[in-house]
């Protein structure tokens, strides 16, 4: 009898303890729609890793008194239909005050229409299509658009004397807008575009495209693609003996590109917002923490997600534990000089576009070197 009583007492105490902590700590939930399976799963994986890292850091920091934040991850498979279903689910969940994601502009914009009509703030770490923030006043992003980045690369190339370009771009919203923005900026600077070649997502054989674009003898080639495709294109370019200079979008920036392309990557020039070997203290902290926890190097995509989650959490901290969807949106819109690992970020008060600084890099002897 005695022992049973002790057990009962302990059980009762445990239940009351749990209940009391639950009452004291309010839980604020964010949704994260990202590809965890399918052909873009490798990006989703690093987004989730970065988000968990940032979230743990935030909850430990005590910036938000009286509440903890949680993130619910949903697998969109990089499919617009899936992302719309997830958006409906997030919108119906009254606990969710804001949403992060998705990965590609196409998927983010499809889901964005749901978030826009239901008044849910959405912050994508990577959607860089110019129209993304035009979906509604609830869309934000932590990446400079190709309307900013492509002209930046064009100006840089022109200043080095490269004015006759061929463009190879992935055939999706992002690739098309990258290529078109670059082409119009180049033409504005008095340059010439010999051809724009689009390829299907998932294609790994660039030999026939490279053979075709090099027939027009461009001075340089601008690659608008992800780093995995970029590595293949660079290798096959070397095999075909094409020697024109290569410029690329920031999406090519990844240690994996060097690993996959080897010495074929030498000479590649690109613009980027994130450099893991930067001496900035917050970057050093992020890189060492990430390596310790996940045993791999963070890339530009990891950093984008880390900062996107950080910006969202900062906005929540500003409003306090009674945050709602509309107060979170307003706090996000007022983001100013957020000190992230991808540089300091401010949202333009009118367009909600992020204003950031970009770095220029060149691959030399198998590593990325900062160009002054």
Partner 1 sequence: MDTYFLMQIINGLSSGMIYALIAIGFTLIFGVLNVVNFAHGEMYTIGAFAGIVCISTLSWPIALVIIVALAVGGFSGIILEKIAFKPFRRFQDEASLKSRAMRESTLLSSLAVSIIIKELLQHFFGAEMQSIPVQYLMNDPIPIGPISLSSGQFLILGSSVVMLAGLQYVLYHTRIGLSIRAISNNPLGAKYVGLSVDRTIIATFAVGSMLGGAAGIMVGLYSGAIFPAMGFAPSLKAFVAMVMGGLSSIPGAVICALILGVCEALATNFMTQGWSDMVAYSFLILTLIFFPQGIFGARRERV
Residue ranges in contact with partner 1 by CB under 8 A: 37, 39, 41-42, 45, 171, 197-200, 202-205, 207-209, 211-212, 215, 228, 231-232, 235-236, 238-241, 256, 259-263
CB 248, CB 223: distance < 8 Å = yes
Nearest approach, Cβ of 288 to partner 1 (angstroms)? 22
CB 225, CB 251: distance < 8 Å = yes
In a 3-state reduction of DSSP, which class is residue 111?
helix
Of 353, 362, 357, the closest CA to residue 147 belongs to: 353
Q: What are phi and psi of 105, to 5 degrees?
A: -60, -40
Task: Kindly give, in sequence order, each residue whose CB lies less than 8 Å from that of residue 60, ignoring residues fewer than 6 positions away.
Answer: none
Nearer to partner 1 among residue 57 and residue 256 (C-beta): 256
Helix (H) or strand (E) holding 237: helix 227-239
Nearer to partner 1 among residue 93 and residue 216 (C-beta): 216
Per-state percent for the chain, helix, strand, coil, to nearest 5:
50, 20, 30
> Checking phi first, is residue 120 left (phi over 0); if not, alpha (psi -120 to 50) or beta?
beta
Q: What is the dihedral of CA 267, 269, 274, 276, to 10 degrees?
A: 10
Q: What is the CA radius of gyration of the chain?
A: 23
CA 273 to chain centre: 11
Query: Please, which residues bridge with residue 192 across strands?
Result: 164
CB 356, CB 142: distance < 8 Å = no
Nearest approach, Cβ of 192 to partner 1 (angstroms)? 19
Nearer to partner 1 among residue 76 and residue 144 (C-beta): 76
Nearest approach, Cβ of 272 to partner 1 (angstroms)? 19
Nearest approach, Cβ of 171 to partner 1 (angstroms)? 4
Structure token pair of residue 227: 């780093």
Nearer to partner 1 among residue 71 and residue 196 (C-beta): 196
Nearer to partner 1 among residue 169 and residue 332 (C-beta): 169
CA–CA dist 230, 204 (Å, integer):
9
Nearest approach, Cβ of 347 to partner 1 (angstroms)? 32
Nearest approach, Cβ of 50 to partner 1 (angstroms)? 15
Helices 173-188, 105-118: axis angle to 10 degrees equals 110
> What single-letter DSSP state applies at residue 295?
S
Nearest approach, Cβ of 177 to partner 1 (angstroms)? 15
Nearer to partner 1 among residue 118 and residue 197 (C-beta): 197
* Size (the chain), residues: 372
Q: How far apart are the first and last CA of the chain?
A: 80
Nearer to partner 1 among residue 171 and residue 184 (C-beta): 171
Nearer to partner 1 among residue 305 and residue 328 (C-beta): 305
Nearest approach, Cβ of 32 to partner 1 (angstroms)? 17
Nearer to partner 1 among residue 181 and residue 264 (C-beta): 264
Nearest approach, Cβ of 219 to partner 1 (angstroms)? 19
């Amino acid at each position: 009898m005695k022992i049973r009583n002790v057990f009962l007492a302990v059980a009762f105490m445990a239940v009351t303890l749990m209940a009391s902590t639950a009452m004291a700590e309010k839980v604020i939930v964010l949704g994260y729609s990202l590809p965890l399976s399918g052909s873009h799963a490798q990006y989703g994986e690093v987004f989730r890793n970065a988000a968990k890292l940032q979230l743990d850091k935030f909850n430990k920091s005590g910036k938000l008194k009286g509440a903890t934040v949680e993130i619910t991850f949903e697998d969109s498979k990089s499919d617009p239909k899936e992302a719309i279903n997830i958006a409906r689910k997030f919108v119906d969940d009254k606990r969710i005050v804001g949403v992060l994601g998705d990965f590609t502009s196409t998927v983010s914009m499809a889901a964005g229409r749901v978030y826009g009509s239901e008044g849910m703030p959405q912050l994508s770490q990577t959607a860089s299509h110019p129209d993304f923030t035009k979906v509604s006043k609830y869309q934000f992003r932590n990446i400079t658009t190709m309307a900013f980045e492509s002209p930046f690369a064009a100006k840089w190339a022109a200043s080095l004397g490269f004015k006759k370009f061929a463009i190879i771009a992935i055939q999706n919203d992002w690739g098309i807008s990258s290529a078109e923005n670059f082409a119009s900026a180049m033409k504005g600077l008095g340059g010439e575009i010999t051809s724009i070649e689009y390829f299907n997502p998932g294609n790994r054989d660039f030999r026939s495209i490279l053979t075709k674009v090099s027939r027009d003898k461009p001075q340089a080639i601008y690659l608008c693609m992800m780093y995995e495709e970029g590595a293949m294109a660079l290798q096959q370019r070397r095999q075909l003996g094409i020697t024109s200079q290569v410029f690329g979008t920031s999406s090519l920036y990844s240690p994996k590109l060097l690993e996959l392309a080897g010495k074929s990557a030498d000479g590649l020039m690109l613009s980027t917002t994130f450099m893991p070997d930067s001496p900035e203290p917050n970057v050093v902290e992020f890189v060492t923490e990430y390596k310790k926890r996940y045993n791999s190097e963070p890339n530009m995509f990891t950093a984008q997600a880390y900062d996107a989650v950080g910006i969202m959490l900062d906005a929540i901290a500003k409003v306090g534990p009674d945050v709602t969807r509309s107060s979170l949106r307003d706090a996000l819109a007022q983001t100013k000089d957020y000190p992230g690992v991808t540089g300091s970020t401010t949202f333009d008060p009118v367009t909600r576009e992020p204003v950031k600084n970009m770095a220029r890099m060149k691959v030399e002897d198998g590593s990325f070197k900062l160009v002054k």
